[in-house]
Protein backbone atom coordinates (compact mmCIF):
# COMPACT_ATOMS: atom_id res chain seq x y z
CA UNK A 1 0.00 0.00 0.00
CA UNK A 2 1.06 3.56 -0.68
CA UNK A 3 -0.15 6.54 1.33
CA UNK A 4 0.28 9.56 -0.91
CA UNK A 5 0.62 13.23 0.01
CA UNK A 6 1.17 12.68 3.71
CA UNK A 7 2.43 15.66 5.70
CA UNK A 8 5.17 14.15 7.91
CA UNK A 9 6.36 16.88 10.25
CA UNK A 10 6.04 19.54 7.57
CA UNK A 11 7.29 17.56 4.57
CA UNK A 12 4.71 16.17 2.12
CA UNK A 13 5.72 12.60 1.32
CA UNK A 14 4.57 9.22 0.05
CA UNK A 15 4.78 6.21 2.34
CA UNK A 16 5.24 2.70 0.93
CA UNK A 17 4.04 -0.09 3.24
CA UNK A 18 4.62 -3.82 2.82
CA UNK A 19 2.94 -6.14 5.27
CA UNK A 20 3.14 -4.49 8.69
CA UNK A 21 6.19 -2.35 7.95
CA UNK A 22 7.06 0.98 6.38
CA UNK A 23 9.63 0.13 3.71
CA UNK A 24 10.10 3.47 1.96
CA UNK A 25 9.39 7.15 2.51
CA UNK A 26 9.88 9.39 -0.52
CA UNK A 27 9.02 12.86 -1.73
CA UNK A 28 5.42 13.23 -2.87
CA UNK A 29 5.04 11.79 -6.37
CA UNK A 30 8.34 9.92 -6.33
CA UNK A 31 6.56 6.58 -6.04
CA UNK A 32 4.16 7.23 -8.92
CA UNK A 33 3.25 4.21 -10.97
CA UNK A 34 3.65 1.74 -8.11
CA UNK A 35 0.67 -0.09 -6.61
CA UNK A 36 -1.93 2.16 -8.17
CA UNK A 37 -5.66 1.84 -7.58
CA UNK A 38 -7.05 -0.07 -4.62
CA UNK A 39 -3.62 -0.33 -2.99
CA UNK A 40 -3.20 3.36 -2.39
CA UNK A 41 -4.85 6.18 -0.51
CA UNK A 42 -4.41 9.93 -0.77
CA UNK A 43 -3.90 11.70 2.55
CA UNK A 44 -4.57 15.01 0.79
CA UNK A 45 -1.76 16.85 2.55
CA UNK A 46 -3.08 15.98 5.98
CA UNK A 47 -0.74 15.61 8.94
CA UNK A 48 0.34 12.03 9.67
CA UNK A 49 1.66 11.09 13.09
CA UNK A 50 2.84 7.78 14.52
CA UNK A 51 0.05 5.84 16.19
CA UNK A 52 -0.50 6.75 19.81
CA UNK A 53 0.78 4.53 22.63
CA UNK A 54 -1.57 5.04 25.56
CA UNK A 55 0.05 3.85 28.79
CA UNK A 56 -3.02 4.22 31.01
CA UNK A 57 -6.26 2.49 30.06
CA UNK A 58 -8.84 0.46 31.99
CA UNK A 59 -10.48 -1.98 29.59
CA UNK A 60 -12.42 -3.59 32.46
CA UNK A 61 -11.91 -7.14 31.29
CA UNK A 62 -12.16 -9.69 32.79
CA UNK A 63 -14.93 -9.19 35.31
CA UNK A 64 -16.55 -5.90 34.27
CA UNK A 65 -17.33 -6.53 30.61
CA UNK A 66 -20.64 -4.70 30.93
CA UNK A 67 -18.58 -1.48 31.11
CA UNK A 68 -16.02 -2.35 28.43
CA UNK A 69 -14.43 -5.34 26.79
CA UNK A 70 -11.35 -5.68 24.64
CA UNK A 71 -13.32 -5.57 21.38
CA UNK A 72 -15.13 -2.30 22.17
CA UNK A 73 -12.02 -0.91 23.82
CA UNK A 74 -9.94 -1.70 20.73
CA UNK A 75 -12.48 -0.03 18.46
CA UNK A 76 -12.49 3.05 20.70
CA UNK A 77 -8.71 3.16 20.72
CA UNK A 78 -8.41 2.95 16.97
CA UNK A 79 -11.13 5.56 16.47
CA UNK A 80 -8.93 7.86 18.54
CA UNK A 81 -5.68 7.09 16.72
CA UNK A 82 -4.38 4.85 19.53
CA UNK A 83 -2.63 1.76 18.17
CA UNK A 84 -1.06 0.39 21.39
CA UNK A 85 -2.49 0.36 24.91
CA UNK A 86 -1.15 -0.61 28.33
CA UNK A 87 -3.99 -1.97 30.42
CA UNK A 88 -4.32 -1.40 34.17
CA UNK A 89 -4.63 -4.28 36.66
CA UNK A 90 -7.77 -3.34 38.59
CA UNK A 91 -10.04 -5.89 36.98
CA UNK A 92 -11.86 -8.86 38.56
CA UNK A 93 -9.77 -10.75 39.39
CA UNK A 94 -7.06 -8.15 39.82
CA UNK A 95 -4.01 -8.89 37.65
CA UNK A 96 -1.80 -9.87 40.57
CA UNK A 97 -1.11 -13.52 39.76
CA UNK A 98 0.07 -15.54 36.78
CA UNK A 99 -3.37 -17.09 36.37
CA UNK A 100 -5.07 -13.68 36.37
CA UNK A 101 -2.60 -12.42 33.77
CA UNK A 102 -3.40 -15.41 31.57
CA UNK A 103 -7.12 -14.61 31.85
CA UNK A 104 -6.46 -11.07 30.67
CA UNK A 105 -4.25 -12.23 27.81
CA UNK A 106 -6.98 -14.58 26.63
CA UNK A 107 -9.58 -11.81 26.70
CA UNK A 108 -7.30 -9.41 24.84
CA UNK A 109 -6.40 -11.93 22.13
CA UNK A 110 -10.02 -12.10 20.98
CA UNK A 111 -9.59 -8.67 19.38
CA UNK A 112 -7.08 -10.14 16.93
CA UNK A 113 -9.64 -12.57 15.51
CA UNK A 114 -12.14 -9.73 15.30
CA UNK A 115 -9.80 -7.77 13.02
CA UNK A 116 -8.51 -5.28 15.57
CA UNK A 117 -5.03 -6.57 16.52
CA UNK A 118 -4.35 -3.70 18.89
CA UNK A 119 -0.84 -3.51 20.31
CA UNK A 120 -0.89 -4.21 24.05
CA UNK A 121 1.07 -4.53 27.24
CA UNK A 122 -0.20 -5.03 30.77
CA UNK A 123 0.41 -3.44 34.13
CA UNK A 124 0.28 -5.93 36.98
CA UNK A 125 -0.93 -5.19 40.46
CA UNK A 126 0.32 -6.25 43.85
CA UNK A 127 -1.01 -6.62 47.39
CA UNK A 128 0.70 -7.85 50.56
CA UNK A 129 -0.79 -11.29 49.87
CA UNK A 130 0.63 -11.51 46.32
CA UNK A 131 4.01 -9.86 46.84
CA UNK A 132 5.74 -13.20 46.28
CA UNK A 133 4.33 -13.44 42.73
CA UNK A 134 5.58 -9.99 41.69
CA UNK A 135 9.15 -10.84 40.56
CA UNK A 136 7.86 -13.56 38.23
CA UNK A 137 5.20 -11.30 36.75
CA UNK A 138 7.67 -8.48 36.17
CA UNK A 139 9.82 -10.88 34.19
CA UNK A 140 7.11 -11.37 31.56
CA UNK A 141 7.79 -9.66 28.22
CA UNK A 142 4.28 -8.22 27.92
CA UNK A 143 4.28 -6.72 31.42
CA UNK A 144 5.07 -3.00 31.46
CA UNK A 145 5.52 -2.69 35.21
CA UNK A 146 3.63 -2.76 38.49
CA UNK A 147 0.78 -0.44 39.49
CA UNK A 148 -0.08 0.53 43.06
CA UNK A 149 -3.10 2.43 44.36
CA UNK A 150 -2.79 4.49 47.53
CA UNK A 151 -6.58 4.74 47.71
CA UNK A 152 -9.56 2.76 46.46
CA UNK A 153 -10.38 2.48 42.76
CA UNK A 154 -12.59 0.06 40.81
CA UNK A 155 -11.62 -3.52 41.62
CA UNK A 156 -8.20 -2.81 43.13
CA UNK A 157 -6.35 -3.54 46.33
CA UNK A 158 -5.02 -0.31 47.86
CA UNK A 159 -2.21 0.21 50.34
CA UNK A 160 0.31 2.93 51.13
CA UNK A 161 2.08 1.00 53.88
CA UNK A 162 5.66 2.20 53.71
CA UNK A 163 7.32 -1.21 54.10
CA UNK A 164 5.04 -2.77 51.48
CA UNK A 165 5.56 0.03 48.95
CA UNK A 166 9.32 -0.12 49.48
CA UNK A 167 9.30 -3.88 48.85
CA UNK A 168 7.32 -3.41 45.62
CA UNK A 169 9.65 -0.64 44.47
CA UNK A 170 12.63 -2.87 45.19
CA UNK A 171 11.19 -5.66 43.06
CA UNK A 172 10.52 -3.20 40.24
CA UNK A 173 14.06 -1.84 40.47
CA UNK A 174 15.46 -5.38 40.29
CA UNK A 175 13.38 -6.07 37.18
CA UNK A 176 14.31 -2.76 35.55
CA UNK A 177 10.65 -1.81 35.13
CA UNK A 178 8.70 1.17 36.46
CA UNK A 179 6.35 1.22 39.43
CA UNK A 180 3.25 3.27 38.66
CA UNK A 181 1.24 4.84 41.46
CA UNK A 182 -2.12 6.49 41.94
CA UNK A 183 -0.82 8.72 44.71
CA UNK A 184 -3.93 10.02 46.52
CA UNK A 185 -3.47 8.84 50.12
CA UNK A 186 -6.65 7.30 51.51
CA UNK A 187 -6.04 8.59 55.02
CA UNK A 188 -6.05 12.20 53.79
CA UNK A 189 -9.37 12.03 51.94
CA UNK A 190 -12.11 14.12 53.52
CA UNK A 191 -15.30 12.53 52.27
CA UNK A 192 -17.70 14.89 54.04
CA UNK A 193 -16.02 18.17 53.06
CA UNK A 194 -17.31 20.95 50.83
CA UNK A 195 -21.04 20.71 51.50
CA UNK A 196 -22.86 23.44 49.60
CA UNK A 197 -20.23 23.95 46.91
CA UNK A 198 -20.75 23.14 43.23
CA UNK A 199 -20.38 19.40 42.64
CA UNK A 200 -16.97 19.33 40.95
CA UNK A 201 -15.48 21.76 43.47
CA UNK A 202 -16.94 19.69 46.31
CA UNK A 203 -15.37 16.53 44.90
CA UNK A 204 -12.06 18.37 44.79
CA UNK A 205 -12.30 19.21 48.49
CA UNK A 206 -13.28 15.67 49.40
CA UNK A 207 -10.19 14.42 47.59
CA UNK A 208 -7.92 17.39 48.34
CA UNK A 209 -4.73 18.32 46.59
CA UNK A 210 -2.84 17.55 49.78
CA UNK A 211 -3.75 13.85 49.50
CA UNK A 212 -2.15 13.56 46.06
CA UNK A 213 0.83 15.74 46.98
CA UNK A 214 1.66 13.78 50.14
CA UNK A 215 1.46 10.53 48.18
CA UNK A 216 3.68 11.92 45.44
CA UNK A 217 6.24 13.01 48.02
CA UNK A 218 6.24 9.47 49.49
CA UNK A 219 6.70 7.91 46.04
CA UNK A 220 9.65 10.14 45.18
CA UNK A 221 11.30 9.51 48.56
CA UNK A 222 11.04 5.73 48.23
CA UNK A 223 12.07 5.80 44.58
CA UNK A 224 15.28 7.59 45.59
CA UNK A 225 15.91 5.01 48.34
CA UNK A 226 15.35 1.95 46.16
CA UNK A 227 16.58 3.11 42.75
CA UNK A 228 13.16 2.36 41.32
CA UNK A 229 11.87 4.36 38.36
CA UNK A 230 8.63 5.83 39.68
CA UNK A 231 5.75 6.41 37.29
CA UNK A 232 3.37 9.07 38.58
CA UNK A 233 -0.09 8.58 37.12
CA UNK A 234 -2.38 11.45 36.12
CA UNK A 235 -0.56 14.28 37.92
CA UNK A 236 -2.95 17.11 38.68
CA UNK A 237 -1.49 19.82 40.94
CA UNK A 238 1.07 22.58 40.57
CA UNK A 239 2.93 21.36 43.66
CA UNK A 240 3.32 17.86 42.17
CA UNK A 241 4.81 19.23 38.97
CA UNK A 242 7.29 21.26 41.00
CA UNK A 243 8.24 18.18 43.07
CA UNK A 244 8.94 16.21 39.91
CA UNK A 245 10.89 19.09 38.39
CA UNK A 246 13.12 19.18 41.49
CA UNK A 247 13.49 15.38 41.60
CA UNK A 248 14.60 15.25 37.97
CA UNK A 249 17.09 18.05 38.54
CA UNK A 250 18.63 16.10 41.43
CA UNK A 251 18.46 12.49 40.23
CA UNK A 252 18.25 12.80 36.44
CA UNK A 253 15.56 13.28 33.82
CA UNK A 254 14.78 9.56 33.65
CA UNK A 255 14.56 8.98 37.41
CA UNK A 256 10.80 9.56 37.40
CA UNK A 257 8.15 9.34 34.71
CA UNK A 258 5.43 12.01 34.85
CA UNK A 259 2.09 11.28 33.21
CA UNK A 260 -0.50 13.93 32.39
CA UNK A 261 -4.08 13.20 31.39
CA UNK A 262 -5.87 15.48 28.91
CA UNK A 263 -8.62 16.42 31.36
CA UNK A 264 -6.13 17.69 33.95
CA UNK A 265 -4.57 19.86 31.24
CA UNK A 266 -7.76 21.28 29.75
CA UNK A 267 -10.58 21.04 32.32
CA UNK A 268 -10.97 22.30 35.87
CA UNK A 269 -13.45 22.50 38.74
CA UNK A 270 -15.41 25.23 36.93
CA UNK A 271 -16.07 23.05 33.89
CA UNK A 272 -19.69 22.86 32.73
CA UNK A 273 -20.63 19.61 31.04
CA UNK A 274 -22.58 20.02 27.80
CA UNK A 275 -25.55 17.72 27.22
CA UNK A 276 -25.22 15.76 30.44
CA UNK A 277 -24.90 15.99 34.22
CA UNK A 278 -21.80 17.24 36.02
CA UNK A 279 -21.20 13.67 37.16
CA UNK A 280 -19.86 12.92 33.66
CA UNK A 281 -16.77 14.91 34.71
CA UNK A 282 -16.28 13.23 38.09
CA UNK A 283 -12.82 11.65 38.15
CA UNK A 284 -10.02 10.71 40.53
CA UNK A 285 -7.87 12.71 41.04
CA UNK A 286 -10.53 15.43 40.70
CA UNK A 287 -10.44 18.23 38.19
CA UNK A 288 -8.38 20.93 39.90
CA UNK A 289 -8.13 24.71 39.48
CA UNK A 290 -7.37 26.93 36.50
CA UNK A 291 -3.99 27.60 38.12
CA UNK A 292 -3.24 23.89 38.09
CA UNK A 293 -4.13 23.82 34.37
CA UNK A 294 -1.52 26.52 33.78
CA UNK A 295 1.05 24.60 35.80
CA UNK A 296 0.29 21.46 33.78
CA UNK A 297 0.87 23.33 30.51
CA UNK A 298 4.15 24.75 31.76
CA UNK A 299 5.29 21.28 32.87
CA UNK A 300 4.32 19.84 29.50
CA UNK A 301 6.19 22.50 27.55
CA UNK A 302 9.36 22.42 29.67
CA UNK A 303 9.74 18.63 29.59
CA UNK A 304 8.68 17.88 33.16
CA UNK A 305 5.79 15.84 31.74
CA UNK A 306 6.99 12.75 29.90
CA UNK A 307 3.84 11.35 28.35
CA UNK A 308 0.07 11.53 27.97
CA UNK A 309 -2.19 8.87 29.45
CA UNK A 310 -5.91 9.02 28.77
CA UNK A 311 -6.93 7.21 31.99
CA UNK A 312 -9.72 5.70 29.89
CA UNK A 313 -12.06 4.54 32.67
CA UNK A 314 -15.48 3.58 31.30
CA UNK A 315 -18.58 3.03 33.41
CA UNK A 316 -22.19 2.35 32.53
CA UNK A 317 -24.06 5.45 31.47
CA UNK A 318 -26.75 4.58 34.03
CA UNK A 319 -24.07 4.74 36.75
CA UNK A 320 -22.86 8.16 35.64
CA UNK A 321 -25.99 10.07 34.70
CA UNK A 322 -27.67 10.49 38.08
CA UNK A 323 -29.99 7.48 37.98
CA UNK A 324 -27.95 5.79 40.72
CA UNK A 325 -29.32 6.21 44.22
CA UNK A 326 -26.40 8.30 45.43
CA UNK A 327 -26.53 10.94 42.69
CA UNK A 328 -23.26 12.74 41.95
CA UNK A 329 -21.46 11.56 45.06
CA UNK A 330 -22.68 7.98 44.70
CA UNK A 331 -21.58 7.53 41.10
CA UNK A 332 -18.19 6.03 40.25
CA UNK A 333 -15.31 8.25 39.16
CA UNK A 334 -13.88 8.06 35.67
CA UNK A 335 -14.88 8.49 32.05
CA UNK A 336 -13.77 7.25 28.61
CA UNK A 337 -10.78 8.99 27.07
CA UNK A 338 -9.44 6.96 24.17
CA UNK A 339 -11.54 8.74 21.55
CA UNK A 340 -10.85 12.29 22.74
CA UNK A 341 -7.22 12.36 23.94
CA UNK A 342 -5.57 13.06 20.58
CA UNK A 343 -8.06 15.71 19.54
CA UNK A 344 -7.95 17.40 22.93
CA UNK A 345 -4.17 17.48 23.36
CA UNK A 346 -3.17 18.05 19.73
CA UNK A 347 -5.87 20.66 19.20
CA UNK A 348 -4.80 22.56 22.31
CA UNK A 349 -1.07 22.40 21.53
CA UNK A 350 -1.68 23.45 17.94
CA UNK A 351 -2.79 26.80 19.36
CA UNK A 352 0.23 26.98 21.71
CA UNK A 353 3.26 26.04 19.61
CA UNK A 354 4.43 25.92 16.01
CA UNK A 355 6.18 22.67 16.94
CA UNK A 356 2.94 21.03 18.05
CA UNK A 357 3.37 17.97 15.78
CA UNK A 358 6.76 17.16 17.29
CA UNK A 359 5.48 17.75 20.81
CA UNK A 360 2.39 15.56 20.36
CA UNK A 361 4.48 12.80 18.77
CA UNK A 362 7.01 12.93 21.61
CA UNK A 363 4.34 12.76 24.34
CA UNK A 364 2.14 10.11 22.75
CA UNK A 365 4.62 7.94 20.84
CA UNK A 366 8.37 8.54 21.17
CA UNK A 367 8.56 8.76 24.95
CA UNK A 368 6.24 5.84 25.76
CA UNK A 369 7.97 3.73 23.09
CA UNK A 370 11.34 4.42 24.70
CA UNK A 371 10.10 3.87 28.25
CA UNK A 372 8.32 0.59 27.53
CA UNK A 373 10.67 -0.92 24.95
CA UNK A 374 8.41 -0.49 21.93
CA UNK A 375 11.03 0.79 19.50
CA UNK A 376 9.48 -1.14 16.61
CA UNK A 377 6.61 1.38 16.50
CA UNK A 378 8.49 4.54 17.48
CA UNK A 379 8.11 7.35 14.98
CA UNK A 380 7.58 7.25 11.22
CA UNK A 381 10.61 5.74 9.53
CA UNK A 382 11.64 2.96 7.18
CA UNK A 383 11.69 -0.35 9.00
CA UNK A 384 9.19 0.74 11.64
CA UNK A 385 5.78 -0.81 12.11
CA UNK A 386 3.11 0.95 10.06
CA UNK A 387 1.02 2.19 12.97
CA UNK A 388 -0.11 5.63 11.84
CA UNK A 389 -2.85 8.17 12.39
CA UNK A 390 -3.93 10.69 9.77
CA UNK A 391 -5.32 13.88 11.26
CA UNK A 392 -8.20 16.04 10.14
CA UNK A 393 -9.64 19.41 11.11
CA UNK A 394 -12.01 20.60 13.84
CA UNK A 395 -14.80 18.37 15.07
CA UNK A 396 -17.46 18.62 17.76
CA UNK A 397 -17.34 15.73 20.22
CA UNK A 398 -20.50 13.62 20.15
CA UNK A 399 -20.19 10.99 22.84
CA UNK A 400 -23.37 9.34 21.61
CA UNK A 401 -21.36 8.09 18.62
CA UNK A 402 -18.43 6.70 20.62
CA UNK A 403 -17.16 3.18 19.91
CA UNK A 404 -16.68 2.52 23.61
CA UNK A 405 -19.59 1.18 25.63
CA UNK A 406 -19.38 4.32 27.78
CA UNK A 407 -21.36 6.82 25.70
CA UNK A 408 -20.62 9.94 27.75
CA UNK A 409 -17.78 12.41 28.13
CA UNK A 410 -16.90 15.68 29.87
CA UNK A 411 -15.69 16.80 26.41
CA UNK A 412 -19.15 16.18 24.90
CA UNK A 413 -20.29 19.11 22.75
CA UNK A 414 -16.87 20.76 22.74
CA UNK A 415 -15.18 21.58 19.44
CA UNK A 416 -11.69 20.11 19.30
CA UNK A 417 -9.37 21.62 16.70
CA UNK A 418 -7.91 18.27 15.62
CA UNK A 419 -9.72 15.03 14.79
CA UNK A 420 -8.84 11.61 13.39
CA UNK A 421 -9.28 11.05 9.65
CA UNK A 422 -7.92 7.48 9.42
CA UNK A 423 -5.99 5.09 11.62
CA UNK A 424 -3.60 2.54 10.11
CA UNK A 425 -2.77 -0.46 12.28
CA UNK A 426 -0.01 -2.88 11.28
CA UNK A 427 -0.19 -1.62 7.70
CA UNK A 428 -3.98 -1.88 7.32
CA UNK A 429 -6.51 0.94 7.18
CA UNK A 430 -9.04 0.47 9.97
CA UNK A 431 -12.60 0.82 8.77
CA UNK A 432 -15.22 1.30 11.48
405-424 pLDDT tens trace: 999 999 999 999 999 999 99
* Same domain, yes or no: 245 and 363: yes
Alpha-carbon span 202 to 192, nearest angstrom: 9
Check whether 330 has a pLDDT greater than 90: no
* Same domain, yes or no: 56 and 140: yes
How far apart, in Å, are the Cα atoms of 400 and each of 278, 335, 407?
17, 13, 5
Q: With contact defined as beta carbons under 8 Å apart, do 167 and 174 qualify?
A: no
What global pTM score does this model have? 0.97
When divided into structural domains, the chain yields a total of 2
Alpha-carbon span 405 to 394, nearest angstrom: 24
* Same domain, yes or no: 203 and 265: yes
**358 part of the active site:** no
CA 138 to chain centre: 20
Alpha-carbon span 423 to 51, nearest angstrom: 8
Q: With contact defined as beta carbons under 8 Å apart, do 23 and 39 qualify?
A: no
Task: State the CB neighbour count (10 A cutoff) for residue 191.
Answer: 9
Choose among 161, 166, 126, 131: nearest CA to 147. 126
Residue range of the domain that includes 130 = 51-378+393-417
* Same domain, yes or no: 337 and 221: yes
Residue-wise pLDDT for 166-206, tens only, equals 999 999 999 999 999 999 999 999 988 888 899 999 999 99
360 in any annotated domain: yes
Residue-wise pLDDT for 257-291, tens only, equals 999 999 999 999 999 999 999 999 999 999 999 99
The b/e string for 11-26 (b: 16+ C-beta within 10 A; e otherwise) is ebbbbbbeebebeebe
| CATH of residue 222 | 3.20.20.140
Say what the pLDDT of residue 34 is: 64
Catalytic residue among 7, 306, 311, 387: 311
Alpha-carbon span 394 to 401, nearest angstrom: 16
427 in any annotated domain: no
Close Cβ partners of 89 (under 8 Å, ≥ 6 residues apart): 95, 96, 122, 123, 124, 125, 147, 156
Region label for 72, one of left (φ > 0), alpha (ψ between -120 and 50) or beta (otherwise) = alpha
**Per-chain mean pLDDT for the chain:** 95
* Same domain, yes or no: 300 and 229: yes
* Same domain, yes or no: 200 and 110: yes
* Same domain, yes or no: 276 and 293: yes
385 in any annotated domain: no
Alpha-carbon span 350 to 45, nearest angstrom: 17
Task: Give the residue-averaged pLDDT of 306-322.
Answer: 93
* Same domain, yes or no: 366 and 406: yes
Amino acid sequence: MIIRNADIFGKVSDILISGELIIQIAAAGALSGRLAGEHEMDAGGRTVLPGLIDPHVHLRCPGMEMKEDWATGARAALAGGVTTVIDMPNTKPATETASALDLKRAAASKTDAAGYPLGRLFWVGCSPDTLGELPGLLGEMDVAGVKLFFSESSGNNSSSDRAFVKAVFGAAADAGKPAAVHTELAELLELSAGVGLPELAMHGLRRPQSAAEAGTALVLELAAETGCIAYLCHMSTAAEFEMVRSHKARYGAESVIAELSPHHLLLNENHQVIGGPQSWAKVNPPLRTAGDNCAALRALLDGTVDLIGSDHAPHLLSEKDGRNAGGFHGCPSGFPGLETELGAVAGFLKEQSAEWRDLVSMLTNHNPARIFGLEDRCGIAEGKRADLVILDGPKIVDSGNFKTKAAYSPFNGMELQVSVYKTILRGKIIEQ
